[in-house]
Structure 1
């Protein structure tokens, strides 16, 4: 199947825009490649430190000989249920590497905070910046320059993007990402949400709420809703840097172990010491980035990736924009409904056909690029389901018919003709909305603004009984520069409860929602943020705000002269310095805007300055590809 002209045009636009930075990045990879093991240039003292703590067998191999040394970057900790299974992975990896004639060492550990624990708490203000810390910690681990390939053990929200950014800084090394899988099904996510809303209404006790939460988050493994963590896994497969079909195999199963072992075998086959060298930085190009965004839209994935994958792309020398994402979303159909976009969890998604089914549909429709991946078969390998046959890892083609059409559908009969996200524009700024989780009757809201500069203040207004029947909650000073852009998921139960009462409600903020965001129409990541003087800070109580998510409009209905004369309101919430927030003052002061990845470190080429791209130049692509984008040129300007 030939590539869809719109996907081809967006890819070409990204390629042309990124040409100088991508070329510089690839030149750096080429310069880093060496003949012989990567530890070869180390001095005797350097090398002695490398193997000082190793056993005699590994020490002998590391002293000499062209055997690969595998670096392990692990995000293991006991606080994240998704990462707890990684506790014993290093010893298993080392043992298998020895059997295969190689060595393996833990190169370093990276921090991995649990957003589920910090939701609505001060620690959430460290969450976004933890991605950049993880990238730096990854680089520190690999800076010993003694590794020929790397395995990355990480799953959750900021961890995978941080690992990717760090890994791409060492893009000359082959790499594989190794998931640990989701926890088995617990209480249905819909029931959990219902109890949360009843608790917000004062109709459920804390004991009842804790019980239902405990039945939802009940064992080791990734949380079962389709949030940022599980979206990460789908995007990694879409870029071809994780083993096919490996995302949603439960921890502790024989198939999980077989896939983990295969990751070790495969990454050792890809080093520069053999004849199948596949450096990560060559695999992740503009086509791989487009594939990731296509998969995000087709599955209704996390809004967090509209920030993270811009940063990941930059780390590979690729310049991605929200406009690119919006263009992709308009042509990619929604093929999956997984909570919060539906009632199914990721285990049911997997049983219905999962990633292999969705990817086959997208490839057959010309909506994904076929790529060079970590496996020789390319992207078509990702349309096959892993199996164990006589104890050996095998695969079978994905089914051509969905096992559950309430969860997964074909391109010919999608849930919606367009993807999960929409770019919003207007006099308040630019933002994004997750359409796939919002019912059509809630996608247009025009109501008076209730303006607060901290989410807790909205809850207090509700408790005081002073909220209007219909309103748009405008929550300002929640952007990256203001306070690190914490997720505002704690507002979801309140707003969901009010919407259930038949009231028209919406959220407009320069902050984030979690990967579990849904149900409530929410214009998020609004940029420029209030802390940068963005117009969202000029909205006042009682202003009429229009959120038309179908048309992509976000505006306040105020006379233009009055609007232009207004000043941005001051932030009345005093910044806090506990829970380590004082240590991130540098990040807040130096972070870029949300639409450029909210990056507080240097990770690739500089992005644009926040103004519109020169589409007059970009749309002069010619042929079918140029024609596909031409109708959108005016609105993008």
Structure 2
């Protein structure tokens, strides 16, 4: 199937827009690659420090003829998704030795859980943790001892930060190793009902706690299709995982075999062998377009509209919201996974998963089939799925048909003809909305605005019974320069209750919503942000605001709007407590959300 004309045109536009920074980036990568295997240029003293604790690998490391793989790990045992990484280094070192290579843990990066910090001050560090992760991975790889790198990370900011670091060290081949989703627990829709009942005062805290513990119950990613699982999808669509690696449960023979195979593949694609695959060659405009197509086809997390531009910039590629919007317009929504449906990622995987989805999108001409990947040239390899046959790992063709059309559908009979995200623009600025889980009758909301500067103020107004008519809830001064752009996911139960009471409700914010949010229309990432004097800072209580996801507009209907002064807020409370003191330099230097809100690229 020839490449869809819109996909081709958007890719050409990205390529043209990025010509100068991409050329500079590739020149830098080429100079780094020309220097040859890094260890050859280290002094004996340098090397002795690097190998002192390497035991049986010392001789191989000192001789410098065997590939040395650097492991960058986000392991901690508080994140369920990252707890399985505890024993990965042992598996990787053993696999590397069998492949004639060595492996060392180059360093660790922080990994925070947004599920723990939702609605808490710590959430104000969340987005900036992505850039900290990129910096920390850069420190790990700065030892300059590695011929390839394995990146161990799963969740919300961790994978984007690791990709930014991998791109920065673009001359080093990179393979990303996932840990997989936890097995299915309490269904996500049942958990959500308990949350809503608690928000309405109809359930006890004991009932809420029991539901939450039943939903989040073991090692692996949360099973809804939020940012963590969207990250895993992206790594396959962008060719940085082994095919089919994303959604295999932890602590299973197949998971272990895929981890071992990932280490072996990293050893095979270094400059010391015959299949050198620097990550700079993989992370080109085709990879990012393929990733955006995957985001739209699956109804993935809105957080990736922030992360993909930041990831791309690290590789010298410039993405814009118009790219997301135009790709969304031609990409069918083919998956229904909570919060867009009732299924979780385990059900999605069982229904055919990414192998079926990628095969369908290739058939529709919506993916670049010639994109380079860590396993070969061409994305068709990702329409295969891993199997354990007689104790050995192999890949077979993925299913030709969906195994459950309530979860996964072919491109010719999708759930919706367009993808799950829309660009919004108007006299309030630019933003995005996730519509894949929003009922069609709620795609257009026009109502008086109620202005808040803190999400706790919204909850207090709700508890006081102040929401009795249709309302556009505006929560401003939530952008990256104001307070680090926290997710406002803790508002979801409150707004859902209002909507369930029959009110027309929408959220407008320069902050973020969680990848788990969905059924309440929300214009998010509004830019310019209020702290920068953006139009959202001129809104007043009672202004009539119109959010039209169909037309892609976000407007205030007030004749004197342009002449009003921007409101300023006291943001001093955001500068201290729970580590926020350490992040002032990030708040001062964050870019706009439209380009990823990054501070390091």
Q: TM-score range, shorter-chain basis? A: over 0.9
Look up the match of 1:622.
none
Note the aligned Cα RMSD (angstroms): 0.9
Look up the match of 1:244.
243
| CA deviation string 1:94-134 (max 9, x = no partner) | 12212222111000000000000000000000000000000
Look up the match of 2:494.
494
Look up the match of 1:435.
435
Look up the match of 1:624.
none
Residues of 1 paired with 2:160 and 2:64: CA distance?
35
Shift of 1:572: 4.5
**Secondary structure, counterpart of 2:526 in structure 1:** strand
Q: How does 1:597-616 map to 2 (within 5 A)?
A: 597-601=596-600, 603=601
Matched, 1:200 2:199: yes
Look up the match of 1:73.
72
Normalising by structure 1, report the TM-score: 0.93
CA contact (8 A) 1:480 1:591 kept: yes
| CA deviation string 1:553-575 (max 9, x = no partner) | 1111101xx11221112215642
Q: How does 1:238-637 map to 2 (within 5 A)?
A: 238-370=237-369, 371-376=371-376, 378-559=378-559, 562-572=560-570, 574-576=572-574, 577-601=576-600, 603=601
Shift of 1:594: 0.1
Shift of 1:372: 1.5
Look up the match of 2:30.
30
CA contact (8 A) 1:443 1:521 kept: yes
**Secondary structure, counterpart of 2:18 in structure 1:** helix
Residues of 2 paired with 1:153 and 1:146: CA distance?
18
Residues of 2 paired with 1:167 and 1:7: CA distance?
26
Residues of 1 paired with 2:263 and 2:36: CA distance?
20
Residues of 2 paired with 1:426 and 1:170: CA distance?
39
Shift of 1:211: 0.3
Normalising by structure 2, report the TM-score: 0.99
Residues of 2 paired with 1:63 and 1:387: CA distance?
37
Residues of 1 paired with 2:35 and 2:579: CA distance?
44
The number of aligned residues is 599
CA contact (8 A) 2:69 2:150 kept: yes
Greater alpha carbon shift after TM alignment, 357-366 vs 465-474: 465-474
| CA deviation string 1:171-193 (max 9, x = no partner) | 10011000010000000000011
**Secondary structure, counterpart of 2:207 in structure 1:** helix
Residues of 2 paired with 1:166 and 1:208: CA distance?
42
CA contact (8 A) 1:446 1:546 kept: yes
CA contact (8 A) 1:47 1:63 kept: yes
Residues of 1 paired with 2:308 and 2:261: CA distance?
27
CA contact (8 A) 1:452 1:476 kept: yes
**Secondary structure, counterpart of 1:339 in structure 2:** coil
CA contact (8 A) 2:477 2:510 kept: yes
Residues of 1 paired with 2:562 and 2:10: CA distance?
35
Residues of 2 paired with 1:364 and 1:324: CA distance?
22
Look up the match of 1:632.
none
Look up the match of 1:93.
92
CA contact (8 A) 1:454 1:573 kept: no
